[in-house]
């Protein structure tokens, strides 16, 4: 009985994985057909009406599996929904994508790593990451050169708690998300005030990055 139930569970998981793969493939083909320009993404979202919100969120989730510039979706959301709701839609989509990637890495990737890496090495790595996880996670979210998806999958392989991952991700991606959405909202008529506000945000992010960089080694050493 147990073997039968286990077999059915595996079949169910396989079917779910196949359906998810087909959905991701369809979304990837859709993203390819959009030609990856802010204007085409904006037109696609706008033409869907109220369904455009779900489509935008789906594109942000797709970004966790298919490499394309998520900034284009953020620009388009700013053009369609404005700075406030555009930020909300983009942030929600990015958070859902990050959560899915983290969960996949934690559930499937961590057991695979444990097969090839000695437990003592993994435990030492987990302790070092846990000691300074908050400033480090905030730091990498503020660095544009660090891949958003790479962080999601990489942290999922560690023992960083889900809640720590979620709140540092949500807080860390908010400033750059606001900047990209505001730029999209003003893409056709960027004024000096807009550029000044964007510059001020980047300066604030630079100062925060510098402060977190100084704190990370101290947290790790403690």
Taking the chain (222 residues) in consecutive chunks of 10 residues, what is each chunk's mean pLDDT?
Answer: 55 58 59 66 91 94 85 93 95 96 88 74 71 74 74 86 92 88 75 60 61 52 44
- Whole-angstrom distance, CA of residue 156 vs CA of residue 168: 14
| pLDDT score for 140 | 78
The candidate with the shortest Cα–Cα distance to 144, out of 102, 175, 103, is 175
What token pair was written down for 88?
């909300």
What token pair was written down for 28?
């990837």
- Per the CB < 8 A criterion, the answer to whether 181 and 83 are in contact is yes
- CA distances in angstroms from 214 to 139, 171, 210, listed in the order given: 10, 19, 6
- CA distances in angstroms from 195 to 75, 101, 186, 189, 211, listed in the order given: 15, 34, 10, 11, 24
């Amino acid at each position: 009985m147990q073997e039968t139930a286990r077999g059915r569970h595996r079949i169910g998981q396989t079917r779910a994985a196949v359906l998810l793969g087909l959905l991701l493939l369809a979304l990837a083909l859709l993203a390819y057909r959009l030609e990856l320009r802010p204007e085409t993404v904006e037109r696609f979202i706008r033409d869907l009406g109220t369904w455009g919100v779900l489509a935008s969120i789906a594109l942000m989730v797709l970004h966790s599996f298919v490499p394309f510039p998520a900034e284009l979706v953020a620009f388009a959301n700013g053009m369609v929904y404005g700075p406030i709701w555009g930020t909300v839609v983009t942030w929600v989509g990015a958070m859902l994508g990050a959560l899915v990637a983290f969960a996949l890495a934690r559930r499937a990737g961590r057991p695979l790593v444990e097969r090839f890496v000695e437990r003592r090495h993994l435990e030492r790595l987990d302790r070092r990451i846990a000691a300074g996880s908050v400033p480090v996670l905030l730091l990498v979210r503020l660095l544009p050169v660090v891949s958003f998806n790479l962080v999601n999958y990489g942290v999922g392989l560690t023992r960083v708690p889900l809640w720590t991952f979620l709140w540092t991700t949500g807080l860390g991606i908010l400033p750059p998300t606001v900047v990209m959405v505001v730029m999209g909202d003003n893409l056709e008529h960027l004024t000096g005030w807009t550029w000044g506000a964007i510059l001020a945000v980047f300066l604030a992010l630079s100062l925060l990055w510098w402060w977190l960089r100084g704190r990370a080694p101290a947290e790790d050493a403690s």
